[in-house]
């Protein structure tokens, strides 16, 4: 079960969210203080969304935090829901991932998105992507310092 946090909940649980965001990145990626502050600001204004994955209504133990954002693609002129962070605190079953992705698909459609994307090497997420008939692509990110790679 995937639950979308409200702004007051984001403020209350910010340390967990920040931990998940920082630790969901590849080992060689940087997440500086400005990025942390930007993430918090975007979550509080619903420019980004934070989701908590729990087993069900009886077992609300936090299993995973997912952070999403809606982007406008200037080429396709369509909105895309991007999963920017996904961090698991406990093992997640395939059923939980499938349920979570179903919730995100419904949310994306409700918000006028025509697609979803995620940058991940997590095998569980990739398997769910296969079920959803996702197009798998490699991702290249080059961080520029002073205008140079």
pLDDT at 46: 94
pLDDT at 122: 65
Q: For 14-61, write each residue's pLDDT tens digit.
A: 999 999 998 888 777 778 899 899 999 999 999 999 999 988 777 778
* pLDDT given for residue 108 in this prediction: 95
Q: Does the domain spanning 2-131 belong to CATH 3.40.630.30? A: yes
- DSSP per position, 27-72: TT----HHHHHHHHHHHHTTSEEEEEE-S-SS-----EEEEEEEEE
Q: What is the pLDDT of residue 103?
A: 94
For residue 115, the cross-strand partners are 80
Q: What is the rounded distance in angstroms from the CA atom of residue 148 to the CA atom of residue 39?
A: 25
pLDDT of residue 94: 79
| pLDDT 10s digits, 78-116 | 999 999 888 888 877 878 888 888 999 999 999 999 988
Give the Cα separation of 74 and 107 in Å (integer): 21
Model confidence at 72, pLDDT cuts 50, 70, 90, reads very high
**How confident is the model over 110-141, as pLDDT tens digits?**
999 998 888 766 666 666 667 666 666 555 55
At residue 149 the predicted structure's pLDDT band, cuts being 50, 70 and 90, is very low
**Cα distances (Å, whole numbers) of residue 55 to 30, 41, 64, 91, 147:** 31, 28, 10, 11, 46
pLDDT confidence of residue 112: 96
3-state helix, strand, coil in the chain (%, to 5): 35, 25, 40
């Amino acid at each position: 079960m995937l639950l979308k946090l409200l702004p007051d909940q984001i403020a209350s649980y910010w340390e967990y969210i920040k931990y998940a965001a920082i630790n969901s990145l590849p080992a060689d990626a940087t997440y500086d203080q400005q990025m942390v502050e930007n993430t918090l600001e975007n979550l509080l204004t619903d420019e980004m969304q934070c989701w908590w994955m729990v087993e069900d209504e009886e077992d609300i133990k936090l299993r995973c935090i997912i952070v999403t954002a809606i982007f406008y693609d200037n080429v396709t002129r369509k909105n895309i829901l991007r999963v920017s962070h996904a961090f698991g605190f406990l093992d997640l079953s395939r059923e939980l991932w499938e349920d979570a992705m179903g919730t995100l698909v419904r949310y994306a459609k409700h918000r006028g998105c025509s697609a979803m994307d995620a940058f991940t090497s997590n095998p569980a997420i990739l398997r769910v992507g296969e079920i959803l008939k996702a197009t798998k692509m490699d991702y290249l990110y080059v961080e520029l310092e002073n205008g140079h790679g």
